[in-house]
Amino acid sequence: MPKRSETTSVQRKTEPVQYRWIWLVYVLLFALSIPWYFPQSQNPAAIILGLPAWVLASMVAVTCIAIFTAFVVHRFWKDEPDVY
């Protein structure tokens, strides 16, 4: 019986760490929060909503990280018995 429940738990994904695509999205969002894609020749920076454009882009990316995390916690972290 323990073996069966262990197999069932492995097949039923209950934690974010078991979804590879979630971590790819995180890598993408953290990469977007760092302004490597803004050409340094663009200095002095354009100002949008009172902030340099690259700062605003970084803030949008980190806000997306927060929203995505809340989504992942509620959708992919299931309150079920674990494999141990």
Partner 1 sequence: MDQFPFRFGALVFIACYLVLMLVLGWIARRQRKSESLSDFYLAGKNLGWFVLLLTLYATQYSGNTLIGYPGEAFRLGFPWIMSIGFMMSIIVVYLVFAPRLQKLARRHHFITPGDWLDFRYQSPTLTLIANMLLVVAIANFLLAQLMAMGHIVSGLSGGMLPYWLGVVLLAAVIIVYETLGGMRAVAWTDCIQGLMLLIGFAGLLIAVFPSTNHLKEVTEWIVKHQPEKAQVPPWSVLRTWVSTIVLVGVSGAIYPQAIQRIYAARNTQTLKVSLSIMVFMPLVSTLVVFLVGIAGIPHFQGLGEISADRVMPLMLREWAAQTPVMYVLAILVITGIVAAIMSTADSVLLSLSSILAKDFLGKTWLKHKPETDITRAGKLLSWVIMVILVFIALQPRITLWGLTELKMELLAQAAPAMILGVFWRRLDQRALLPGTVAGTVLAVALAAAGSGKVWGLHAGLLGLLLNLGICILSQAWLNRQEIVP
24 binds partner 1 (CB under 8 A): no
82 binds partner 1 (CB under 8 A): yes
> Measured between alpha carbons, how far is 1 from 25 in angstroms, rounded to an integer?
37
No. of helices (H) and no. of strands (E), the chain: 3, 2
Residue choice 1, 4, 20, 50 for contact with partner 1 (CB under 8 A): 50
9 binds partner 1 (CB under 8 A): no
The minimum distance between CB 76 and partner 1, in angstroms, equals 9
Give me 44's structure tokens: 């002095």
What residues from 59 to 78 belong to the interface with partner 1 (CB under 8 A)? 59, 61-63, 65-66, 69-70, 72-74, 77
> Measured between alpha carbons, how far is 61 from 32 in angstroms, rounded to an integer?
6
